[in-house]
Amino acid sequence: MTAMKKDTLKGKTALVTGGTRGIGRAISEKLAEAGAGLILHARLISDSVQQFAHKLGEENGIAVDCVAADFINPTNIDRMFDQISAAGLDIDILINNAGFETTFAAEDMPLADWQAVLQVNLNAPFRCSQEAARRMKKKGEGGVIINISSIHDTVPRKGLAHYCAAKAGLRMLGHCTALEWAEYGVRVVNVSPGAIETDMNREAIENFGRDKFESWIPARRLGNTSDIASMVCFLCSNEASYLTGTDIYIDGAYMRNLVRYDDRPGRSST
C-alpha cells in the first residue's frame, strides 16, 4: 500500500486508544504523517508517552494531546471523555485499539479475568464508540471508527475463551453500529490482525520459534505493525468512503492455513 499524502487527513482529529505502544503506536505515527491531529490514550501518562507525543507533534506539525484511563474501570472512560470535552477537542476518527489478554483453561479461568478481558476488549470499545459517534453526529461531518480486532474474532484458540468471545462481540458490534450510523456518515470497519511482531512480543516470538510462525503463515513471514497501520490510515481517508460494516483480515492468509495437509500439488521443479 502506498504512503498516504502528508495532508490526506489534515483538519481531522483522531483518538487512538492504546495509542503509544505496539500496533497502536504505529497507527498513531501513520495518522500523524497523514496530517491528523491526535488524542493519544494510554493507561498512564509516563515520561515516555509524553516524549512520544511531543515527537509526533514536532515532526508532523500537528496538535497532540494525551489522555489517561485504565479501561478496567468503566468510570475512567467517562472521565476521559469529560477531559476531552473540557479541552474542546473534536473526534473525527476513533481507533479502538486498546486491549489485553490472559491465558487460562476455560474450566480454571477466574471470573475476574473473564470480566476484565471483556471489559477492556468489548465494553470499552462500545463506550468509546458511543461517545465518539455522538460527537460525530453533532458535528454533522461524519466520521470513522476502526475497531482493532483479531483473527480470533473468528478462529478459536485454547486458553483464550474470554479474549475470543470479546473479539467476536467486537466484530458484531462493528456491524451493528455501521448499520445504525451509516445515515449520519459515520463509517465503522473492523480490522483483524493475525500474528504481528511488536517490540512487546518479539522476545516471546524468538523463544517460541520464529521459524514455526514462518512455516505456518502462507505469506512466509510474521506481520509487522506497519502492515496494520497503513491499512488503518487508508480506511480513515476519503479513498475508503464507501467502506463500512465490513471486516478486513490482515494475516498473510494465516487463518486459511490452520488445517495441515501434504504439499500437493507442490512447486514445479522447472
pLDDT digits (tens, 9 = 90+) for 101-139: 999 999 999 999 999 999 999 999 999 999 999 999 999
Residue of 163, 184, 254, 261 marked active site = 163
Residue with cell 466520521: 143
As given in the structure block, the three cell numbers for residue 134 are 455522538
Amino acid at 245: G
Angle, CA 113 vertex, CA 145 and CA 197 arms, to 5°? 55
Do residues 147 and 190 touch, judged by C-beta distance below 8 A? yes
Position 257 scores a pLDDT of 81
Position 226 scores a pLDDT of 96
Active site residue 163: yes
Maximum Cα–Cα distance for the chain, whole Å?
A: 67
Which residues lie below 8 Å from residue 13, measured CB to CB, with a gap of 6+?
36, 37, 38, 39, 63, 89, 90, 91, 92, 93
d(CA 165, CA 171): 10
Nearest to 15 by CA among 75, 85, 73: 85
HEC sequence for the chain: CCCCCCCCCCCCEEEECCCCCHHHHHHHHHHHHCCCEEEEEECCCCHHHHHHHHHHHHHHCCCEEEEECCCCCHHHHHHHHHHHHHCCCCCCEEEECCCCCCCCCHHHCCHHHHHHHHHHHHHHHHHHHHHHHHHHHHHCCCEEEEEECCHHHCCCCCCCHHHHHHHHHHHHHHHHHHHHHHHHCEEEEEEEECCEECCCCHHHHHHHCHHHHHHHCCCCCCEEHHHHHHHHHHHHCHHHCCCCCEEEEECCCHHHCCCCCCCCCCCCCC
pTM score, two decimals? 0.93
Burial letters for 249-261: b for 16+ Cβ neighbours within 10 Å, e otherwise? bbbbebbeeeeee
Residue with cell 497503513: 230
pLDDT digits (tens, 9 = 90+) for 195-224: 999 888 898 889 888 998 888 899 999 999
Amino acid at 184: Y
Position 126 scores a pLDDT of 98
Residue 12, classified by CB atoms within 10 Å of its CB into exposed (0-12), middle (13-18) or buried (19+), is: buried
pLDDT per residue, tens digit, the chain (270 aa), is 556 667 899 999 999 999 999 999 999 999 999 999 999 999 999 999 999 999 999 999 999 999 999 999 999 999 999 999 999 999 999 999 999 999 999 999 999 999 999 999 999 999 999 999 999 999 999 999 999 999 999 999 999 999 999 999 999 999 999 999 999 999 999 999 999 998 888 988 898 889 988 888 999 999 999 999 999 999 999 999 999 999 999 999 999 886 555 555 655 555
Position 209 scores a pLDDT of 87
Nearest to 165 by CA among 152, 147, 146: 152
Do residues 240 and 234 touch, judged by C-beta distance below 8 A? yes
All structural domains of the chain? 13-250 (3.40.50.720)
